[in-house]
Amino acid sequence: MACSVLMVDDEESARTSVEMYLQDRDYEVHTAASAEEGLEKLDEYLPDVLLVDLRMPGKDGFYLIQEAQKRSSATAIIVLSGYADISKAVRATKMGVCQFIEKPFSLRQLTAAVDQALSLNTSSYHLRKVDERGLRVEGPGWTLMGAGDALKDIYRKIRMVSQSNQSTVLIQGESGTGKELVARAIFEFSDHAPKGQFVDVNCAALSESLLEAELFGHEKGAFTGATETRKGLFGAAHGGAIFLDEIGEMPLKLQVNLLRVLEEKSFKRVGGTENIEVDCRVIASTNRNLREMVEKGEFRRDLFYRLDVFTIHIPPLRQRPEDIPVLSAHFLDRLSRTCNKRFTGLAPEAMERLMDYHWPGNVRELRNVIERAIILGTGSTIRADNVIICPHPTEDGPPAGMALRLGSLESMEKRLIQKVLDATDWQKTKAAEILDINRTTLWQKIKRYGLQPQA
């Protein structure tokens, strides 16, 4: 995909000449005649470079620059002005503009400025073009990838809600779609990121009593084993954000306490009487239908409406098959390095097997399949027989294209488990994660097959 440029200028002749010249040089070019129209196209096209005239009817270029900076730090901004004014140049530079070009300018001069702006754009959190197929939103330690409209829509919503540090966000999507990555992107795009920390908690992983103590902390002596006071995760998230993963699993009693935090911005520790004020954004996620749970009395209606302020839905991988090649290439490149291997790509038959599968485990399952393929693979290309997909029942029935003609299932499973264990130096937690099974199941299979570390 070509680098994109948005030019906002009320002079039609200037827009036309720049558009034709840059398009001939393989840029994706969009134009607008006003700041208001420019903002609409900024949200629609997510340009790499914004060319903006300062003097326009209605809202001026400074207004557009200010709004553009609120929406994304990823877009490089170049000012085009027919009125040489040092004070305006200084003001534009302070606003984050990378270049100030005086009209009239040559088209070669403009192209050089665009190229330089692209090379200097080193923002940590932004939408990046990967190649002709894909897009990537990335930050330190996390990456969201896709090939088309689904990721673009998610990125647009992330940018919109990040402008408000207090708005509660509900992220909906099946397990393995990347809900935590979206939550981290919201946090890191917002003004809270430099001030506080991102705290995450899995609401399905703890019992009611443990979850309450984890979220709200406890006073010394509040219960057996409480030998010291703990401030809890809400206390740790003060000034930042707390991510409540799988909020649909939260017990009804704790839902009351959470509602109080959202409404009063304060909470009490377990065993405490003092109201502790907290300022943090609450981001929740769920793989369940909360509306249906409300109707069944399984989730509080008032809490649902407090959480459902701004919703981001992540489609399952089976509804965006165009993402599979991009994600597979990304995982292949990244995971090959950790396994000290180097692959140039996947054979057509291997990619066909990936495309035929319906991915009930979504992106997480795809990642595990690619990692297994890397462990099993030899040479420079992942072959079809390296792509071992462990079938499991789903509501949609058996997956398509899952006939595995590689000998008996048991012998294949034994060989796969042995290879994964050896590749992970018999780190059973890591091996279980790659095999997409729990540690207990892995232990049972090790004993059943009599597996031992290879000398």
Find, among 162, 198, 200, 166, the residue nearest to 74 by Cα.
162
Tokens 């072959």 belong to 383
| pLDDT reported for residue 122 | 41
Cβ neighbours, 10 Å, residue 291 = 12
Lowest mean pLDDT of 76-80, 389-393, 408-412, name the range.
389-393
Residue 142, domain CATH? 3.40.50.300
The answer to whether residue 85 is domain-embedded is yes
Q: What is the pLDDT of residues 69-105, one digit of tens each?
A: 776 656 788 988 766 566 666 677 677 787 888 888 8
Domain match, 29 and 77 both: yes
Considering the domain architecture, whether residues 86 and 164 belong to the same structural domain is answered as no
* Number of independent structural domains in the chain: 3
The domain that holds 23 is classified in CATH as: 3.40.50.2300
Per DSSP, what are the bridge partners of residue 80?
53, 101
Domain C-terminal end among 80, 96, 123: 123
Domain endpoint, select from 292, 313, 334: 313
Q: What pLDDT, on a 0 to 100 scale, did the predictor assign at position 252?
A: 93
* Residues found in the chain: 455
218 and 306 in a common domain: yes
Average model confidence (pLDDT) across the chain: 84
Please indicate, yes or no, whether residues 264 and 380 belong to a single structural domain of this protein: no
**Residue 300 · residue 294 · CB < 8 Å:** yes
Residues 157 and 306 occupy one common structural domain: yes
Same domain, 167 and 221: yes
The pLDDT of residue 376: 87
Question: Is the model's pLDDT at 227 over the cut of 80?
Answer: no
User: Is the domain of 324 the same as that of 307?
Assistant: no
Claim to verify: residue 212 and residue 245 sit in the same structural domain: yes
283-341, pLDDT tens digit by residue?
Answer: 999 999 999 999 999 999 999 999 999 999 999 999 999 899 989 988 998 888 877 88
Model pLDDT for residues 346-361, shown as the tens digit of each residue: 999 999 999 999 999 9
- Whether this prediction's pTM lies above 0.75 is answered by no
**Structural domain harbouring 9:** 4-123
Query: Out of 19-33, 213-227, 235-249, 396-410, which region has the weakest mean confidence (pLDDT)?
Result: 396-410
E strands present in 321-444: 345-346, 381-382
8 A C-beta contact, residue 321 and residue 327: no
Same domain flag for 265 and 234: yes
Same domain, 78 and 181: no
- Shared domain check, 277 and 372: no
Residue 53 has pLDDT above 80, yes or no: yes
The proportion of the chain whose per-residue pLDDT surpasses 70, expressed as a percent, equals: 85
Q: Alpha carbon 393 to chain centroid distance?
A: 28
The answer as to whether 209 is a domain residue is yes
Distances (CA, A) of 160 to 145, 151, 194, 239: 19, 14, 19, 20
